[in-house]
Structure 1
Amino acid sequence: MPVGLIALTLGSFGIGLTEFVIAGLLPQVSRSLAVSEAAAGWLISGYALSVAVGAIVVTAATSGMSRKSVLIGLVALFVVGNLLSAVAPSYPMMLFGRVVAALCHGSFFGIGSLVARRMVPAERASRAVAVMFAGLTLANVLGVPFGALVGERWGWRATFWAITAIGVIALIAIAALVPGWAGAVDRAHPSTASGLNGLRVQLRAFRSSQVWLTLAATALGYGGMFGAFSYIAYTFTQITGFSSTDVAWLLVVYGSGLVIGNVGGGRAADANRDRTLIVSLAGLAVTLTAFGLLAASPVASVVLVFLLGLFGFAGVPGMITRVTDYANGVPLAASANVSASNVGNALGAWLGGLAISAGLGYTAPLYVGAAIVLAGLAVMTITARRAPGQPSGGTNLGVGDPAESALS
């Protein structure tokens, strides 16, 4: 495995910690900064909205810069944001720190995925993306318990100091280990040109219906999973009968499914990408439906929450390589995929909440999630049938690659 890929994985781990760790710290932060739980909740939702916006804006603003330089700058922004959170004397400053940290999230995963896939042969592109995203999945498994442990022992600020330190290590690792050629700018091709011309070429890639349909499938797939997962603690405690203390280890089971699904999905996508995406969405829809029917069974719930993570993340590497292939490798498309997933997360959580508010019970988000995923499955099936390109991992897009030069 290229050492530069390990450096990117470390960066994704730190960014993932920032996203997930706050969930276990909200009560402490709320008391410390003297704000309501609802206000504290904006430290999560505000982060997600900033990710969705920042993924597009930051990537567009850095068009034409060396990808390695951009990655270093993004991790530096991540360090600053978490440092602001660690020292925040007030809630507005804490929220500002969260927003600053979130601005790097989408662009890091979008641009980083392009750099990661160029470090390996073309037939291993999706697996390279999966390795990078392994940091995010591990952060999901470890983030909440890590934050809770450090927060309980040394206070919530210590958690953000620890994440800041991880960010500094990742910054040094990326600067030292990611080769310059992995993300260099190719001035010969408009997609990497600077200024308005480069941005116009990147936007031109969005004329492809395959790009938009893949983004739609991403949003619906994520939305269905997250719509159910957002209320999974209520399902476990109110329907299955688990205690609130059991939720932590159940989330670890879910996170383990994410890790395995990410690795397996990346490998499968390199063999046949569109089939992997269709199977993962179909498996997710079946899992959510079965979960709704069997939520009262503790044994079934443990198995199904694992499968929820497995199928929910199995399509992630393939979705990213697919959208970037059909967008001719422009970074803006990779970042748009991250934005699409966050839009889907917000949509799924909102619809799941509406179902509960309508009195449909705590299994309702599971059925709502299944319906959303089925819509995503329909989109992906139509998309695959109309696709003019190859079903596998595609080309290894990078500087001077044929797909990128097609824009010129």
Structure 2
Amino acid sequence: MASLIGLTVSAFLINTSEFIPVGLLTDIAGSLGVTEAKAGILITGYSWTVTLFSLPLMLVFSRMRPRKLLLLTLFVFSLGQFLSVIAPGYAFLMIARICVASSHCIFWSIASPLAVRVVSRKHRSLTLSAIVTGTSVAMVAGMSLGRLIGLQIGWRMTFMCVASVAVLTLVYLTAVFQNLSSGAAFSVKNMPELLRNRRLMLIYVICALWATAYYTGYGYIEPFLRRVANFPDGTVTIVLMLFGGAGLVGSMLFYRFYDFHRHAFLCSTLALISAALLMLRVSASGAATVTGVCIAWGIAVLAFNVSFQSLRQDVGTLFGGIVCTNAGIGNIGYAGSFFSVAALIICFFFLSASVPGENAEH
């Protein structure tokens, strides 16, 4: 249990760090003297690093013992946070974010497998849900607290706080995390077998479309709420907290329904994400309506993310930046919905025969 607590805190920190630029995008852009669209590229660079480096990094480090790899990952993560604090300009901050993203690649490749190995078999489903729920908690407490710190004393201090807690977590895991066997190493020779797996390829396509849809909208939700919905800073923080808090509901729905209605559950979450993105612009005229849309969006995102937690890469913020620059920030929801609807169609018509049977063993 002590190891699981450390992993959960690590998940919270890594996702807090991932979402910090979302909540402070306007302030980071102003501080560095760049546009919001260019500041959004910090999120895109992070995402592309995860996309391109996840497999190569795991091929390199797959033979390392799990405990050593986990501790190395947290060390690199902490280093990236400190580099973000001292970044003198945009290019240096991008390098620091790439450093953090590299640790993200490895952590989310090993977190779930390690989590289920440190608990009994009957608690594995609950353990997976708890680990991924760290994402939602990061969106509620982590990103919102980071935003509050950033607005009061500067966005650099937000990264400093994350770095400090990360170092403490590293020390804690050094003391409590048990030694585990490395298991069978994955190699390039195994790639053809993966590419022939139709179910896995469909999941990758759906995840890529979903993530593009999500970050097209969410990557710019802070300036959207300020400029299109005309929310003051305090209200923006509250709405972002509600968005993340709603994710806890999505996690509970997953734990309650997914094993028994898998295909229907996946399609429902994608349908709700699509509806939220399509409604984002039209709901911005009223504080209650746009807040309700964000809550529904948060529920669906976390529910989907727990179901497809093995892949979280995206190109969405790059596309979102293009939309902001050329079509206006108010249209990010419409642009994102294009990808989520495509994912929904693929999931509904092509994935049903590929989803493992209800109550099946993972």
* Same-fold status (TM-score > 0.5): yes
Task: Confirm or deny that 1:311 pairs with 2:300.
Answer: yes
Question: Which one of 14, 36, 39 corresponds to residue 34 of structure 2?
Answer: 36
Q: Deviations over 1:50-77 (max 9, x none)?
A: 2222322211211222233222211111
AA in 2 matched with 1:338: R
Percentage identity across paired residues of the two chains? 23
- What residue in structure 2 maps to residue 354 of structure 1? 323
Give, in whole Å, the separation in 2 of the partners of 1:375 and 1:254: 23
- What residue in structure 1 maps to residue 263 of structure 2? 274
Matching of residues 177-192 of structure 1 within 5 Å: 177-181=176-180, 184-186=181-183, 192=184
Task: Confirm or deny that 1:82 pairs with 2:71.
Answer: no
Question: Which one of 338, 351, 357 corresponds to residue 384 of structure 1?
Answer: 351
Aligned residue for 1:193, secondary structure, equals coil
Does the 8 Å CA contact 2:217/2:336 hold for their aligned counterparts? yes
Report the TM-score when normalising by structure 1: 0.77
Give, in whole Å, the separation in 2 of the partners of 1:107 and 1:357: 35
Change in 2 beyond 3 A, CA 1:242/1:193: closer
Q: Deviations over 1:152-208 (max 9, x none)?
A: 555444332221111112223333334333xx223xxxxx237xxx33225632320
Give, in whole Å, the separation in 1 of the partners of 2:220 and 2:103: 27
Report the aligned-residue RMSD.
3.0
Does the 8 Å CA contact 1:54/1:104 hold for their aligned counterparts? no
Matching of residues 9-408 of structure 1 within 5 Å: 9-25=8-24, 35-37=33-35, 40-120=39-119, 124-181=123-180, 184-186=181-183, 192-193=184-185, 198-201=187-190, 204-233=193-222, 235-237=224-226, 240-320=229-309, 334=310, 337-339=311-313, 342-343=314-315, 345-346=316-317, 349=320, 353-354=322-323, 357-358=326-327, 362=330, 364-387=331-354, 389-392=356-359, 394-395=361-362
Change in 2 beyond 3 A, CA 1:231/1:18: closer
Q: Deviations over 1:10-49 (max 9, x none)?
A: 11111122222234555665666x5434655443332222
Aligned residue for 1:210, secondary structure, equals helix
Give, in whole Å, the separation in 2 of the partners of 1:60 and 1:274: 32
Give, in whole Å, the separation in 2 of the partners of 1:289 and 1:245: 25
- Distance apart, 1:112 and its partner CA: 0.6
Change in 2 beyond 3 A, CA 1:26/1:354: closer
Q: Which runs of 5+ in 2 are unaligned?
A: none
Give, in whole Å, the separation in 2 of the partners of 1:151 and 1:374: 35
Q: Which runs of 5+ in 1 are unaligned?
A: 187-191, 321-333, 396-408
Does the 8 Å CA contact 1:217/1:379 hold for their aligned counterparts? yes
Does the 8 Å CA contact 2:147/2:237 hold for their aligned counterparts? no
Change in 2 beyond 3 A, CA 1:193/1:265: same
Change in 2 beyond 3 A, CA 1:147/1:185: same
Q: Deviations over 1:237-271 (max 9, x none)?
A: 55545345422211111111123213432443344
Give, in whole Å, the separation in 1 of the partners of 2:227 and 2:156: 32
Give, in whole Å, the separation in 2 of the partners of 1:158 and 1:294: 34
Give, in whole Å, the separation in 1 of the partners of 2:89 and 2:280: 41
